[in-house]
Amino acid sequence: MKPLKIFLFTFICLVLLLNSSFAESVKNSNIIIEGNKKISSNTIVELLNLTSNNANSKNLNEYQKKLFQSNFFRSVNVSFNNKKIFITVIENPIVDYIFIEGIESDQLLNKIKDTLELKENALFSEVLLNSDIKKISTLLRSQGYFKSNIEFKAVKPSADKINIFLNIDLNKKFSINNIFFIGDKKIKNSKLLSVVSSRPKSLFSFFSSANTPSSERVDFDISLLKKYYIDRGYYNVQIPSGSIKVIDDSSVDIVFTINAGNQFTIKNIKIEDVNSILLNANIASIKKIVEPLKNDIYSLSFLKTIQNKISTYLDNNNLNANLTYDIQQLDTNNMAIIFNINENSKKAYIRNITIKGNDLTEEKVLRNNIDFAEGDLLTNLKISNSIDKLKTTGFFKDVKIKQKNVINSDNVDIEIKIVESPTGEIGAGVGVGSNGSNVSFNFKENNLLGKGLGFSVLGSFGTESVSANISLSNPDFANSGNLLKTGFYVSKYENETSGYENKIIGASVSTGFEWFEDVSLKYGISADIDDLTAEGSASSLIKSRDGQFFTNKFFYSVTEDKRDKKFKSEDGYIFGFGQDIAHLGSDIPYLQNSIFGSFYNKFNDSFIGTIRYKVKSINSFESSKDIKLSDRLFLSDNELRGFKFRSYGPKVDKDYIGGNYSYSTTFSSTVPNFLPESWNSSSSVFFDVGNIWGTDFEVTNEANQMRSSIGLGFSWFSPIGPIAVSYAEPIQKSSSDEIEKFNFKLGGVF
């Protein structure tokens, strides 16, 4: 055994000796760097991330790897000799020019340039070049170019410079041919198509990018569909995929696979609190807040609304508590909601607020949309409400709010990190109906100059009328939190049958805010000049109105909005009233009153009932002055179908001159039309009731009686654009009324 021990001892000593020789440390002064011209030796040492001012000979491979990863060098050699580390490098050349060929669109060319990591007057890297080519390919796919081809060539005019040539062959731009929803979806295709942002190609698709396929848009559509299902009780919905399938050399189909699962109803609601004193003192008020949830279809949006109401109650009553909720499935169709209220033992106050990512939007705009400031008590409700408010502005793709505790203090620092999104819109539309044709356009910027200002230009050119409207709005005028909106408008209406032309030019300024919860108040002033020109063929009444009239008025409206959603509402109601008061130098002072509203009720997915109503009146303050023709009341062709617009009611000779009073009510419901779901169509039945009556002067035919009609409506998102058709059969009418049973409209705004 003794020889064996001697052998092992000798072997271990030899290994330690060899290891010490290969792991010898050297000071940075013994690092010899050669070949570098543009990159300093200090920069190279920093790239190696050396500690204790020493380099270790056993880490030569690691040093070489780090230098290669910097993308500064095309050749790196690291060696150790005579207690020194030798680093020999050959630097990459400087990029002199980057030429991109094959792209005619300046907008697309700028997007490609923005994606490049490789920049002119920077060091060339083959790794970055390959990465940039992949990024360009991804960008082109997002723009609809699924079969683009990218070739590159690197030319070195000198030893230390290089030119990059990128030749891009776009081929044809792809568009969406059809959108399919498959699986156990339980909701009609026409409903789901209205949810997603993607749209099949149509006649007017060149106004929009919604028909351009991209994986990013498909992912966004999946999130929209999930939210739509969850808000309708499908708690376990699964949408595992949304695929883009190329069907020819320029078209794709998008297919969403959906497993809706069962629809859940909230059967039980529990409120739990670790601190029973807090709960006992407030249980009655909290139970009243959560009561609307019970026996209702589960909706995540409504649940969040209730959660916010409880949190608001706790904050308003100075109860520093955290509120969370759990969902418990009772069976295949029922669930319980458990609200957990936990009193905070430690309070946290905000010390500093830092905002990052707002390259365009001013910090003031963000601070106006958060519920806290430096020195405030921080609560989870303030954080969640602030995130919701910032996202609601539409200025930001993503919003994150992080908090960091301050050591040995009850203070916290808040960091708000946002990702800005495009805020401009441009669109156009074409309408063709039985009353004539119409072309419209719009331009909107919702975050003008990064100040949160809204700017819009709207125009419409029709067979009988032309109009334009320019408006500017400030949601936080003079730091008041109130909306201020100003506008300028001009319109021209030409009635060839009655022989007159009416021009109006005016301006308005208004403000508005949420007065109470779900109740908004809007008020303002406007002034306009009304110029009516009567031709020789006009009636004596029209000729008596020839001339210019000035009107200056104050207006206001109060609206309560209790709908479940603003677009395609299925539950709730709207109620409002308002007045217009023409005064202060108006040629014809008057008072106009209006009451309006609507009710919504969903019977099932096929039958959604709606009741809309509106009552208006307008009367002159001076009995000797009649209301202007342009101010007199008419019903639109959507309020009373089956009757020709401006062709019923009070009449003088051959002219329908409108009334001082009007009312309209519509009872309608969606109905199944038994057409294939792939048509993306919807149908409805309706019953319209309305009338206009009352004048300031003697008329040929007052026709003061109720009008009514019953009919069918059909809408279809066709390959050439949206089509709306209605047929209405008048039930009650006057002999002097002009009937128009069929109404057809093509086109829309994009």
* pLDDT tens profile 214-250: 888 888 899 889 999 999 899 999 998 888 888 888 8
Least confident of 59-68, 234-243, 502-511, 741-750: 741-750
> Side chain identity at 92, as an amino acid letter?
N
- In terms of average pLDDT, the best of 67-76, 501-510, 677-686, 722-731 is 501-510
Per-residue pLDDT, 550 = 93
| Range 293-308 average pLDDT | 88
| Range 741-746 average pLDDT | 77
Is the pLDDT at 18 greater than 60? The verdict is no
Per-residue pLDDT, 328 = 92
| Range 376-398 average pLDDT | 80
Q: Which residue has the higher pLDDT, 50 or 126?
A: 126
Cα separation, 392 vs 301, in Å, equals 14
2 phi and psi angles, rounded to 5 deg:
-60, -45
Token pair listed for 82? 């005579």
Burial 203-237, CB ≥16 within 10 A → b, else e: ebbebeebbbbbeebbeebbeebbebbbbbbbbeb
| Range 43-62 average pLDDT | 68
Per-residue pLDDT, 410 = 80
Per-residue pLDDT, 27 = 52
Cα separation, 742 vs 731, in Å, equals 15
| Range 291-302 average pLDDT | 89
Least confident of 219-223, 299-303, 366-370, 421-425: 421-425
Cα separation, 512 vs 389, in Å, equals 17
Per-residue pLDDT band at 52 (split at 50, 70, 90):
very low
Neighbouring-strand partners of residue 180: 255
DSSP class of residue 603? S
Q: Which of 269, 399, 279 is nearest to 341 (CA)?
A: 279
Per-residue pLDDT, 54 = 60
Q: What percent of the chain has pLDDT over 70?
A: 85
Per-residue pLDDT, 497 = 67
Which residue is associated with the tokens 């020999």? Answer: 88
Query: pLDDT averaged over the chain?
Result: 81
Which residue is associated with the tokens 């009070």? Answer: 650
With H, G, I as helix, E, B as strand and everything else as coil, classify residue 405: strand
Cα separation, 339 vs 342, in Å, equals 10
Q: What percent of the chain has pLDDT over 90?
A: 23
Per-residue pLDDT, 710 = 96
Token pair listed for 239? 């949408």
Cα separation, 494 vs 478, in Å, equals 42
Is the pLDDT at 275 greater than 80? The verdict is no
- Three-class secondary structure assignment of 670-714: EECCCCCHHHCEEEEEEEEEEEEECCCCCCCECCCCCEEEEEEEE
Is the pLDDT at 22 greater than 60? The verdict is no
With H, G, I as helix, E, B as strand and everything else as coil, classify residue 541: helix
Neighbouring-strand partners of residue 323: 341
Is the pLDDT at 171 greater than 70? The verdict is yes
Q: Model-level pTM greater than 0.85?
A: no
List all residues 6 or more positions away from 716 whose beta carbon is below 8 Å from its beta carbon: 679, 680, 681, 722, 723
Per-residue pLDDT band at 625 (split at 50, 70, 90):
confident
| Range 50-66 average pLDDT | 67
Cα separation, 546 vs 85, in Å, equals 99
Per-residue pLDDT, 206 = 53
What is the tens place of the pLDDT at every residue in 645-677?
Answer: 888 888 877 778 888 999 999 999 988 877 766
Per-residue pLDDT, 50 = 63
With H, G, I as helix, E, B as strand and everything else as coil, classify residue 24: coil
Is the pLDDT at 459 greater than 80? The verdict is yes
Is the pLDDT at 173 greater than 90? The verdict is no
Contacts 24+ apart (CB under 8 A), 67-72: 71/123, 71/125, 71/127, 71/128, 72/39, 72/47, 72/123, 72/125
Q: At what angle do helices 106-115 and 126-142 cross, to 10 degrees?
A: 140
Cα separation, 491 vs 496, in Å, equals 16
Contacts 24+ apart (CB under 8 A), 495-499: 495/464, 497/654, 498/538, 498/539, 498/542, 498/654, 498/655, 499/534, 499/535, 499/536, 499/537, 499/538, 499/539, 499/542
